[in-house]
Chains A and B, each alone.
Chain A
């Protein structure tokens, strides 16, 4: 296999890796807010359920969760979704896992906002939604940005776990080429890909942090 073919194969895997990455963030970041609200809810049942959800998601391997999501329709209901279910299952698995982590980060950020901010907003007549969106959220984002960056970088590397469900993302491609070529070179190229990807991610997040540092 020529180096060019190796690169183009890895690039096609990279496309899949990036898609998993983008879609997971797209869904898990907003979902995390709902989980965080559930975690802080006054209702005991809701609080308990979200706490349980978070502890299961954080306490079991992501690889196992992916397998459960992909295979449970068959083992529980004997519904055969076939290969069509493969990609949605991966996104669903990653999303529910990352939402749990994001929820805890959001919660820490929300709880770090002084009570006085809420009281000042209440006195000025802001509604609850306005208070959250205009006053609390912008401050929360600044606080949680470093923790979110960590999580996002972890996600870039975690995408390789999609191979569990036989999704041929970049790392699986590298493994297959390595097997066919009996060579370690594809792994080096894959490592470089991941590194550059994460370099871009951290550069982007750093810019965002700088932008937020006006106060």
Chain B
């Protein structure tokens, strides 16, 4: 019996050790970036199963400059504020839209100019925002596109003409639904839209020329963490000066969208 208990305890400790992958150690020198791992090209899993993307590579470069260790912490988007406030992550760096959230975070300078657009099936007879009347439009839960469509000062009146605003968890599901015809259009960031359409590469999807709005991405820190924000912001500008920023933007096909001065 004693042996059994001992082996159980051993098993338990073994499991705990194994599981350091689930939570990073609370090391002072760690820079914990919270990101949506289902949000290419900003943050996603690459061909080797590693997390990468435009935002994560920028973070990596800054960590190299500062001598920090980068911890890439995928988060559930709905819980991003809880994660940030409770100190589980140091910042949200994940194609994170500033507009509408100006006062909620300590922001870096905007580095990507991103518009919210509508993606439709190429074969559908939808060419303008007005054509969306009576249609079902998909949008990611808690996303910038959703807040644009719900904001009375922005596109609320347009959204009111839809048959339904269908929320979904990730873009892969949304595109599957678009392909299946259960939604007629998807509202999302232009960068994501371009990536999704290119990687599918089947000519089935197009982006409407008319955009929902224009907006900018920044790195979000907790409001009381301006010190870290200032360090990272300064480093971001250094990366712009030494060319790393533009090289990465080109690598991820975002050259037309970056806006860091």
**What residues of chain A have their CB less than 8 Å away from a CB belonging to chain B?**
1-2, 5-6, 8-9, 12, 15-16, 19, 22-23, 26, 67, 70-71, 73-75, 80-87, 90, 163-168, 172, 175-180, 182-184
For the complex, give the distance between the alpha carbons of A40 and B39 in Å: 50
Range class of the B interface residue count = 35 or more
0/1 interface trace, chain B 142-182, chain A, CB 8 Å (1 if under): 00000000000000000000000000001110011000000
User: Would you call B87 and A80 a contact (CB within 8 A)?
Assistant: yes
For the complex, give the distance between the alpha carbons of A1 and B50 in Å: 10
With a cutoff of 8 Å between Cβ atoms, the chain B residues found around residue A73 in the complex are 86
**What residues of chain B have their CB less than 8 Å away from a CB belonging to chain A?**
8, 11-12, 15-16, 18-19, 21-26, 32, 34, 37-40, 44-49, 71, 73-76, 79, 82-83, 85-89, 170-172, 175-176, 196, 199-200
User: Would you call A1 and B46 a contact (CB within 8 A)?
Assistant: yes
**Complex: chain B residue closest to A8, CB-CB:** B49
User: Would you call B26 and A19 a contact (CB within 8 A)?
Assistant: no
Given A85-B23, A182-B199: A166 and B75 interface contact (C-beta under 8 Å): yes
With a cutoff of 8 Å between Cβ atoms, the chain B residues found around residue A168 in the complex are 21-22, 37, 74
A selection of 10 A-B contacts at a CB cut-off of 8 Å is A1-B49, A9-B45, A70-B82, A83-B26, A84-B24, A87-B22, A168-B21, A179-B170, A180-B38, A184-B176
Q: Add 6 more A-B contacts to A16-B19, A22-B11, A176-B74 (CB < 8 A).
A: A1-B47, A16-B22, A82-B24, A82-B32, A84-B23, A166-B74
The 10 closest A-B pairs by CB, nearest first: A80-B87, A179-B38, A74-B86, A86-B23, A9-B49, A83-B23, A87-B22, A83-B24, A1-B47, A82-B26
**Complex: chain A residue closest to B85, CB-CB:** A74
Majority DSSP secondary structure for residues of B touching A: mixed
B153 to chain A, nearest CB (A): 31
User: Would you call B171 and A179 a contact (CB within 8 A)?
Assistant: yes
Given A1-B47, A179-B38: A86 and B22 interface contact (C-beta under 8 Å): yes
For the complex, give the distance between the alpha carbons of A1 and B51 in Å: 12
Given A15-B18, A67-B82: A2 and B47 interface contact (C-beta under 8 Å): yes
B80 to chain A, nearest CB (A): 10
For the complex, give the distance between the alpha carbons of A74 and B16 in Å: 23
For the complex, give the distance between the alpha carbons of A74 and B81 in Å: 12
User: Would you call A176 and B86 a contact (CB within 8 A)?
Assistant: no
Given A179-B44, A179-B170: A166 and B85 interface contact (C-beta under 8 Å): no
User: Would you call B22 and A71 a contact (CB within 8 A)?
Assistant: no
With a cutoff of 8 Å between Cβ atoms, the chain B residues found around residue A165 in the complex are 76, 79
User: Would you call A5 and B48 a contact (CB within 8 A)?
Assistant: yes
Given A1-B46, A86-B88, A182-B172: A176 and B32 interface contact (C-beta under 8 Å): no
User: Would you call B25 and A26 a contact (CB within 8 A)?
Assistant: no
For B18, B23, B47, B200, the residue with the greatest tally of chain A CB atoms inside 10 Å of its CB is B23
A182 to chain B, nearest CB (A): 5
Pick the contact of A166: B18, B25, B79 (CB < 8 A): B79
